[in-house]
Amino acid sequence: MTLKHLLSHVKVLDLSRVLAGPWSGQILADLGAEVIKVERPGAGDDTRAWGPPFLKDENGANSKESGYYLGVNRGKKSITVDISKPKGQEIIKALAKEADVILENYKVGTLDRYHLDYESIRKINPKIIYCSITGFGQTGPKANHLAYDFLIQAMGGLMSVTGEKDQKPGGGPQKVGIPIIDLITGSYATIGILAALSNRAVTGEGEYIDMSMLDVQVGLLSNQAMNYLMTGKTPERGGNAHPNIQPQDVFKCSDGQVVLAVGNDGQFEKLCAAMGFPEWSKDERFKTNAQRVKHQSELRPLLDSAFITQSRAYWTEKMEQAEVPCGPINSVAEALHDPQIVHRNMVRTLDHPVSGTVPQVMTPFHFKNASIKADTAPPLLGQHTLNILQELGYSQEGIEKLRSDGVV
């Protein structure tokens, strides 16, 4: 039986570039949507040049496909269009008329100048779901400011609670090691789009979605924000130690490090027994989570002295047997080759016209009665321009004229 693709009935016009918008577009493509990526003639998405590394062609030479670009554009079709030219705007409007969804992340007001903003598009397609992604949103004193993930991590409070304490070696604010706000903004954008599509199926109405990276970051402060709002005390960096639950931290073993994530008093009791010190769980300083948080400076040395005596594998296995959450701090290479990740088929190889094949990390959907549509590599710049224009009714002569005029 051939499994269905859940969004095979959806057509997406992806005017976004860099990461948050393309990430959303890739999720929608994996779910089966037809996603047409619009890029600048000659240059394309900024991330195409964000290397090394670059994909090697079959002769071992660098191609123009960076790893950054290849990680967020799977399953799309690429058309090159200069939207600053009237003829280019005509092409975008023709595509928009047939689209269900538009994704864009231009600076506020840019698409208004080209009559490609939401109000202009909905005149020709009232049912359009139009999602704008910006650093600060469409309104407010910073609406016109530019932003990148690093800046938003700083402004939104994330870096203030990430990293070791100032007084410790290596202390100071740290960003997350991946562009986490771009990625989660793209994920939230996808949720908003799917909700709007669901509503349209009932009401027949389109929607405009205003996604702000700073809004997303502040929303993600979750428990740290609540800690402040309930106490008035500003959260501080605490390294890897959890501010509300103990013991949850990084511990050194004889050959590396593990994370211990004890979530309740029962797990702590099992931990103590597994480590050979059942008396710790009876100690009044450690019997409850609230007491362990209060006395973590006394608990920590006891755990340190035990973990350092054995290897990562020893403690991981010991804690698995005791049903205590614990695992090694894996490198990226170790994570991608973890038997669980291999079993879940999270890393696959797709055919590619330049290199022969290209590796891909999959979208983490596993459906019972459907499948993801992860069978097409990220497109070459303008790879589908000719076919898309022909489908819109352009003649060969007309397409050649557009090319000679620099429109496509």
Q: Count of residues for the chain?
A: 408
Query: Nearest Cα to 363, choosing from 190, 216, 153, 177?
Result: 190
Query: Which residues have C-beta within 8 Å of that of residue 400, sequence separation ≥ 6?
Result: none
The CB density around residue 234, as the number of other CB atoms within 10 Å, is: 11
> Hunting for tokens 């999270």 — which residue is that?
346
Measure the CA–CA gap between 236 and 163, rounded to whole angstroms: 10
Measure the CA–CA gap between 226 and 244, rounded to whole angstroms: 11
Measure the CA–CA gap between 205 and 172, rounded to whole angstroms: 49
Bridge-based pairing of strands 11-14 and 34-39 is parallel
CA dist 67 → 47, 53, 64, 169, 284 (Å): 9, 6, 10, 33, 53
CA dist 335 → 7, 96, 347 (Å): 30, 40, 11
Q: Name residue 39's beta-bridge partners.
A: 80
Q: Per DSSP, which regions of 7-138 are E strands? A: 11-14, 34-39, 54-56, 62-66, 76-80, 101-104, 129-134
Measure the CA–CA gap between 48 and 68, rounded to whole angstroms: 7
The catalytically annotated residue of 14, 82, 182, 215 is 182
Phi/psi at 258 (nearest 5 deg)?
A: -125, 160
Bridge-based pairing of strands 326-328 and 256-261 is antiparallel
Q: Name residue 209's beta-bridge partners.
A: 131
Measure the CA–CA gap between 73 and 145, rounded to whole angstroms: 26
Query: Nearest Cα to 31, choosing from 170, 197, 213?
Result: 197
Measure the CA–CA gap between 134 and 99, rounded to whole angstroms: 21
Residue 182 annotated in active site: yes
Question: Which residues belong to the active site?
Answer: 182
